[in-house]
Chain A
Amino acid sequence: MVASRAIGSLSRFTASRTLRCSGYICRSFTRASALLTRTHINYGVKGDVAVIRINSPNSKVNTLSQELHSEFMEVMNEVWSSSQIRSAVLISTKPGCFIAGADLNMLNACTTSQEVTQISQEAQKMFEKLEKSTKPVVAAINGSCLGGGLEVGIPAAFDMMLTGRSIRADRAKKMGLVDQLVEPLGPGVKPPEERTIEYLEEVAITFAKGLADKKITPKRDKGLVETFYLTEMTSYALSIPFVRQQIYKKVEEKVQKQTKGLYPAPLKIIDVVKTGIEQGSNAGYLSESQRFGELAMTKESKALMGLYRGQTQCKKNKFGAPQKEVKQLAVLGAGLMGAGIAQVSVDKGLQTILKDTTLPALGRGQQQVFKGLNDKVKKKTLTSFERDAMFSNLIGQLDYRGFEKADMVIEAVFEDLSLKHRVLKETEAVIPDHCVFASNTSALPIGEIATVSKRPEKVIGMHYFSPVDKMQLLEIITTEKTSKDTTASAVDVGLRQGKVIIVVKDGPGFYTTRCLTPMMSEVIRILQEGVGPKKLDSLTTSFGFPVGAATLVDEVGVDVAKHVAENLGKEFGERFAGGSLEMLQQMISKGFLGRKSGKGFYIYQEGVKNKNLNSDMDSILASLKMPSQPDVSSDEDIQYRLVTRFVNEAILCLQEGVLATPTEGDIGAVFGLGFPPCLGGPFHFVDLYGAQKIVDRLRKYEAVYGKQFTPCQLLVDHANNPNKKFYQ
């Protein structure tokens, strides 16, 4: 997604004069098309309307490839030259997808920005010809229509260009992107998907005819700027250069603030729009294609495209279908995590038991699930009826009734080994033989939890991230004894819950927690060296982390951070050393547990948006102050001290076999820990930034702080051999 957004985001800025209609259905369904003379486009004439059907072969989606371009131009030329044809309809025969944007493989195959510019110019020519078409062209859009796909039918609006938002069909109509909506049909005498497309085509044809006969006039044939700033007053204001300059400035500021300058595309888009408006559309087109070419060659673009591919891979179950599909799920513990897991299960139609030991705790968890669903009703992504039906999938209880029918139990009780042991034994006494027992823990080794199990092959780790309904990642942890079918079942459930999944080997901290911990240790040391939490936050966010490092400690919880740091510190010894745990200890004793207790490094108050520093922290920080090392304390050094420790540990995880692939390492770091997406994850980062440079950095810090910064063997190997890459 990220990548396709980045690419699709470069858009034209003038409106076409076509009338379009759209509908949406979200089922994936592929159908063999009839005999085609062309491979991507099939075209027929109904009365005086040309119907152009797009259908890329052997793919679930249509993408803007070079073949599609050339066939499309061929067909359009026929349409324009034929005297019999008075209007045209553009439609995809793939249910659920119009055009999903540019073909990533095509862009990937380009080695220079000139090649990409060339492609972009060809596409522009196509769009321009469409826009200037003397015969009305109706785009009938059924399903996803992203990036360049949107351009084929629709001029993109400002806001969407910049952030790549997904827009629902009804909102698109309101925004004026589309002119008519066709709602998906139910069953008739053929499959609903098929009939819906036929119907869409029929409706589009009547519109095309109506346009050609001038019976219908497209309501909106204004330029983009007019559609964006709807009223006449603002359109007048925009004709004044000074006002325009102010708007450019404002938009740039906003973009700068949101992206921290780490993502080059949005600023270039503004630049292109500016050129187009100030110097005319030809200059705009030229500038657009050139900037697009440049962008496609950037590290950011490569990182994001890599991430996109990785995400696609982590949305598949490589362990195959489980022998028995999980129909009845049970979650132990109705805390933040347990309730979150329940929520993402019931809203996908999984029957879920939520069990806790006390009524108030259970009630809190049930309320959390309800609130999560109800918030979607408020945002109109769910109806209240759908919410109720989903909430009915949840059964809250205090005992083990019904566990004899459970296919999977996910425990999310407190992070305490003896408690987890007790719960495991209690559960195994009541569940059926085939039932999988999954433990949601961020650091306790699954193997240790499984020691008390009668059936360790059915025990697995499922590490969710908080808040469960927002965080996409699920880290699944297998022990030596975990069976393949158990893993397949866990991955299957995770995918049904909508997660992006990495499967890692058991070990202290697994993969994600293990990478984060040395970085956190460095965070404490940096704080001790006198860098304030605010400064530290701004250094980390400006590097691309979505959440600042000090804020992250508050979010995770100081007690949890200390617990993990202590445990892993024992396991990994010196490599995980750095800051003094005394700081966390003192915070805990004062009740500064982070967001959950209202105070941590910052003060958290309901309804107060700007968080203030917790001044009571000053004395703690002062008492633990260490001298800073001037050689390694520049802003950049501080950023790299944090990142290199993270990256080094990630690569060590691959070296030790905790990680099976670099892809999973990147996906885990970006989606679970907020590793800067523009860097593509630790492994992409090493590939793109250069292993040697990272080793050099590590050596520099090693000289000051010692073993914590010793680069691991695999990283050294990569540095020694520049041809070695994690991604070939």
Chain B
Amino acid sequence: MTSLLTYTFKNLPNTSKWALRFSSQTKSKKTLAKPNIRNIVVVDGVRTPFLLSGTSYKDLMPHDLARAALSGLLHRTSVPKDVVDYIIFGTVIQEVKTSNVAREAALGAGFSDKTPAHTVTMACISSNQAMTTAVGLIASGQCDVVVAGGVELMSDIPIRHSRKMRKMMLDLNKAKTLAQRLSVISKFRLNFLSPELPAVSEFSTSETMGHSADRLAAAFAISREEQDEYALRSHSLAKRAQDEGLLSDVVPFKVPGRDTVTQDNGIRPSSLDQMAKLKPAFIKPYGTVTAANSSFLTDGASAVLIMAEEKALAMGYKPKAYLRDFMYVSQDPKDQLLLGPTYATPKVLEKAGLTMNDIDAFEFHEAFSGQILANLKAMDSDWFAQNYMGRKAKVGLPPLEKFNNWGGSLSLGHPFGATGCRLVMAAANRLRKEGGQYGLVAACAAGGQGHAMIVEAYPK
């Protein structure tokens, strides 16, 4: 019966008044379970404190951080190591020594060496991809228990020799005789020594993300003041959440050779006056995106334990949430680089048969204040929906009182590969704390991609 209802739901345009009334009536009863598909749950999830790059984690390697998250998860859930069928981690800037960072971290954390692990990458939604890959493995019956996570260590990045220098070094390797070696070395020029940094700009457009965010804010006519105000909100809410102990996914991490890190260190509520003093960071001198209204470079790792519902129950767990419908989208990487949430939100809601009104907790990734505000404006624009998304009407504005209530990437930090799991755990924990049923997670990513997922609270 439930499934039949859900089915009818999905075929209704989500703007229909009838659907609205109907959904609000059934709100607390309906669950998004689907016939013949396994229910998949998040048992729990943890993360290391997110730190500004170049602070306490600066001497670590990425797999150290990932290992800390995995150990924390083991400790928090007491899951027997050999029950885990598979481990998936997301990361963006890869350390060349540990290109499959999931495997190195898992081995170090003491997981069974019989548990395979792989690493995925999808820019800022890498750990979202890790989680949804896990969902796929479980839903298709391949696995019952999967650990998904993500890690990013921006304190150290792979800076390479230039292509010319690399070519010379490789040629030198092949040279057999002294004469050959000398002839290779004779080609050396001083400019070979200029290093090559990992790209900060979009490969396809050569535009940095901050620059694109500034243009996006201008396209949606979002002022500097609005952006600063939003950033201040994020920091203030994060500060309150931290003070009230709501950020329960954070696990302390004893950094070798340093003190134990217990909390995020990027939360710094300032004042609008202070923020107004900053100069634009990308489009100079008249841009609106500044260091204060952008997310900062962050080190951190996160991990969640995902199981088939019946497995979790059989093992005696009380899961936190169901992972429901999810959606990946992509669009023009030049002018709509950061509009992923706008595109993904209506689609995932439609897929789940929900409307904006059904959502109790919104957890959107905050890359830039301007990006969040542009997405909000786009979601609230019929013109944009009709002209760029091929939809009849806008999806609507998420109510701000339900939006990123415990801070977001602007204040908590944004380790690229690890943010997705933080968003899901924030949604799950908020639903438990605040008593709602549905959470919506959404994020944008480099390459003009985006993601959204419905998180449903597990009945108490």
Residue ranges of A at the interface with B (Cβ–Cβ < 8 Å):
180, 183, 185-192, 195, 198-199, 203, 206-207, 383, 385
Contact: B215 with A186, CB < 8 Å?
Answer: yes
Q: Choose from B206, B283, B332 the contact partner of A186 (Cβ within 8 Å).
A: B332
Of the listed stretches B8-16, B43-51, B383-391, chain A binds B383-391
B204 CB-CB contact with A under 8 Å: yes
Contacts of A180 in B (CB 8 A): 286
As a 0/1 sequence over residues 147 to 163 of chain B, the CB contacts with chain A under 8 angstroms (1 = contact) are: 00000000000000000
Contact: A185 with B388, CB < 8 Å?
Answer: no
Closest 10 CB pairs of A and B: A186-B335, A188-B219, A185-B219, A188-B220, A189-B381, A385-B204, A199-B218, A203-B286, A186-B219, A185-B215
Expressed in whole angstroms, the minimum distance between the Cβ of A276 and any Cβ of chain B is 34
Contacts of B442 in A (CB 8 A): none
Interface-centre pick from A183, A187, A385 (highest chain B CB count, 10 A): A187
**CB-CB nearest in chain A for B381:** A189
Contacts of B221 in A (CB 8 A): 188-189, 195, 198-199
B216 CB-CB contact with A under 8 Å: yes
**CB-CB nearest in chain A for B222:** A188
Q: Choose from B203, B283, B286, B335 the contact partner of A187 (Cβ within 8 Å).
A: B335
Interface hits, B230-287 → A, CB 8 Å: 283, 286
Q: How far is the CA of A189 from the CA of B386 in the complex (A)?
A: 11
Interface hits, B185-225 → A, CB 8 Å: 203-206, 215-216, 218-221
Q: Choose from B205, B218, B374, B387 the contact partner of A385 (Cβ within 8 Å).
A: B205
Q: Choose from A187, A207, A385 the contact partner of B219 (Cβ within 8 Å).
A: A187
**CB-CB nearest in chain A for B388:** A187
Q: How far is the CA of A189 from the CA of B335 in the complex (A)?
A: 13
Contact: B383 with A189, CB < 8 Å?
Answer: yes
Contacts of B374 in A (CB 8 A): 188
Q: How far is the CA of A469 from the CA of B418 in the complex (A)?
A: 49
Query: Other than the known A195-B219, A385-B204, what 11 A-B pairs have Cβ atoms closer than 8 Å?
Result: A186-B334, A186-B335, A187-B335, A187-B336, A187-B388, A188-B220, A188-B221, A188-B377, A188-B378, A188-B384, A199-B219
Q: How far is the CA of A567 from the CA of B337 in the complex (A)?
A: 59
Residue ranges of B at the interface with A (Cβ–Cβ < 8 Å):
203-206, 215-216, 218-221, 283, 286, 332, 334-336, 374, 377-378, 381, 383-384, 387-388
Q: How far is the CA of A185 from the CA of B212 in the complex (A)?
A: 9
Q: How far is the CA of A370 from the CA of B187 in the complex (A)?
A: 28
Contact: A190 with B383, CB < 8 Å?
Answer: yes
Contact: B205 with A189, CB < 8 Å?
Answer: no
* Chain B, interface SS category: loop
A192 and B335 contact, Cβ closer than 8 Å, known pairs A186-B219, A187-B384, A383-B206: yes
Q: Choose from B206, B218, B387 the contact partner of A185 (Cβ within 8 Å).
A: B218
Contact: A187 with B387, CB < 8 Å?
Answer: yes
11 contacts between A and B (CB under 8 A): A183-B283, A185-B219, A186-B335, A187-B335, A187-B387, A188-B219, A189-B221, A191-B387, A195-B219, A383-B205, A385-B204
Expressed in whole angstroms, the minimum distance between the Cβ of A431 and any Cβ of chain B is 34
Contacts of A190 in B (CB 8 A): 383
Contact: B286 with A192, CB < 8 Å?
Answer: no
**CB-CB nearest in chain A for B335:** A186
Q: How far is the CA of A243 from the CA of B206 in the complex (A)?
A: 44
**CB-CB nearest in chain A for B336:** A186
Expressed in whole angstroms, the minimum distance between the Cβ of B246 and any Cβ of chain A is 35
**CB-CB nearest in chain A for B337:** A186
Q: How far is the CA of A203 from the CA of B384 in the complex (A)?
A: 24
Q: How far is the CA of A187 from the CA of B377 in the complex (A)?
A: 12
Expressed in whole angstroms, the minimum distance between the Cβ of B212 and any Cβ of chain A is 9
Interface-centre pick from A185, A207, A385 (highest chain B CB count, 10 A): A185
Q: How far is the CA of A187 from the CA of B336 in the complex (A)?
A: 8
Expressed in whole angstroms, the minimum distance between the Cβ of B412 and any Cβ of chain A is 28
**CB-CB nearest in chain B for A196:** B219
Q: How far is the CA of A198 from the CA of B215 in the complex (A)?
A: 13
Contacts of A206 in B (CB 8 A): 286
Contacts of A195 in B (CB 8 A): 218-219, 221
Expressed in whole angstroms, the minimum distance between the Cβ of A377 and any Cβ of chain B is 12
Contact: A183 with B204, CB < 8 Å?
Answer: no
Contacts of B388 in A (CB 8 A): 187
Contacts of B335 in A (CB 8 A): 185-187, 192
Contacts of A198 in B (CB 8 A): 221
Contact: A189 with B218, CB < 8 Å?
Answer: no
Expressed in whole angstroms, the minimum distance between the Cβ of A198 and any Cβ of chain B is 8
Q: How far is the CA of A180 from the CA of B284 in the complex (A)?
A: 9
Contact: B206 with A189, CB < 8 Å?
Answer: no
Contact: B377 with A189, CB < 8 Å?
Answer: yes
**CB-CB nearest in chain A for B206:** A383
Contact: B215 with A183, CB < 8 Å?
Answer: yes
Q: Choose from B203, B219, B378 the contact partner of A192 (Cβ within 8 Å).
A: B219
**CB-CB nearest in chain A for B383:** A189
Q: How far is the CA of A180 from the CA of B285 in the complex (A)?
A: 9
Q: How far is the CA of A301 from the CA of B165 in the complex (A)?
A: 56
Expressed in whole angstroms, the minimum distance between the Cβ of B157 and any Cβ of chain A is 22
Interface-centre pick from B220, B381, B387, B388 (highest chain A CB count, 10 A): B220
Q: How far is the CA of A186 from the CA of B218 in the complex (A)?
A: 9
Q: How far is the CA of A383 from the CA of B283 in the complex (A)?
A: 21
**CB-CB nearest in chain A for B207:** A183
Contact: A189 with B384, CB < 8 Å?
Answer: yes
Q: How far is the CA of A688 from the CA of B218 in the complex (A)?
A: 54
Expressed in whole angstroms, the minimum distance between the Cβ of A95 and any Cβ of chain B is 14
Contacts of B216 in A (CB 8 A): 186
Interface-centre pick from A188, A191, A383 (highest chain B CB count, 10 A): A188
**CB-CB nearest in chain A for B211:** A183
Q: How far is the CA of A344 from the CA of B221 in the complex (A)?
A: 38
Expressed in whole angstroms, the minimum distance between the Cβ of B285 and any Cβ of chain A is 8
Q: How far is the CA of A203 from the CA of B219 in the complex (A)?
A: 13
Expressed in whole angstroms, the minimum distance between the Cβ of B277 and any Cβ of chain A is 15
Q: How far is the CA of A206 from the CA of B283 in the complex (A)?
A: 15
Q: How far is the CA of A186 from the CA of B207 in the complex (A)?
A: 13
Expressed in whole angstroms, the minimum distance between the Cβ of B367 and any Cβ of chain A is 16
Q: How far is the CA of A195 from the CA of B388 in the complex (A)?
A: 15
**CB-CB nearest in chain B for A181:** B283
Q: How far is the CA of A206 from the CA of B224 in the complex (A)?
A: 13
Q: How far is the CA of A192 from the CA of B221 in the complex (A)?
A: 12
Expressed in whole angstroms, the minimum distance between the Cβ of B283 and any Cβ of chain A is 8
